[in-house]
Amino acid sequence: MTKRLSEEAERGFLEVLGRHEQLISKVIRIYAFDSEDRKDLFQEIVYQLWRSYGSFKGEARMSTWLYRVALNTAITSLRRGKKLSEHTELDDQFITTSGSLETLYNSEQTRQLYSAIRTLGEVDRALVMLYLEDLSYKEIAEVLGLTEDNVGVKLNRIKKKLRVLIGAS
């Protein structure tokens, strides 16, 4: 059972959610491929963030905590067998209120990259997304529970695989 947060905590939660909307949208875009799946995953991520918001201790940066919750929720949804379509095309509509994301995903090169990323395993997708967000190896390791060395090795392997996939398109 979820405990009720104070009005002040609710306002704080909504503010955090608004500040990090693009972060959540990017996680959703990597793990859910059609509009209905994105909406479902968005709701599940927001619910999980809400459930755990009161227990956030501030030991990590807020964005690190958000990534961790969002990625774990997305990966858990996939592993539980929740229906998430395996379309390789990007829909034109995204769960976001900011127009800048739509502009970003209009280029053919970016569409190819995201199509290639979707062929990767769950954790590898998360690694790439965090890397594309310019997180340091240390920050990526914190979010995913890996060592910094492991992050570097995995990223090098993933980059090679993506070059092959995009080159083959």
pLDDT of residue 90: 33
Angstrom distance (rounded) from CA 162 to CA 119: 9
Residues 6+ apart with CB under 8 A from 116: 162, 165, 166, 169
pLDDT of residue 3: 53
- Count of positions (residues) in the chain: 169
Q: Does the pLDDT at position 10 exceed 50?
A: yes
pLDDT of residue 168: 61
pLDDT of residue 57: 82
Structure tokens at 100: 């800048």
Q: Does the pLDDT at position 86 exceed 60?
A: no
CA dihedral 5, 11, 14, 19 (to 10 degrees): -130
Q: What is the pLDDT of residues 35-79, one digit of tens each?
A: 888 899 999 999 999 999 888 888 888 888 999 999 999 988 877
**Nearest Cα to 72, choosing from 126, 136, 117?**
126
Q: Does the pLDDT at position 23 exceed 60?
A: yes
Q: Does the pLDDT at position 155 exceed 50?
A: yes
Helices marked H in 32-168: 35-53, 62-79, 99-104, 108-117, 122-132, 137-144, 148-167
Q: Does the pLDDT at position 147 exceed 70?
A: yes
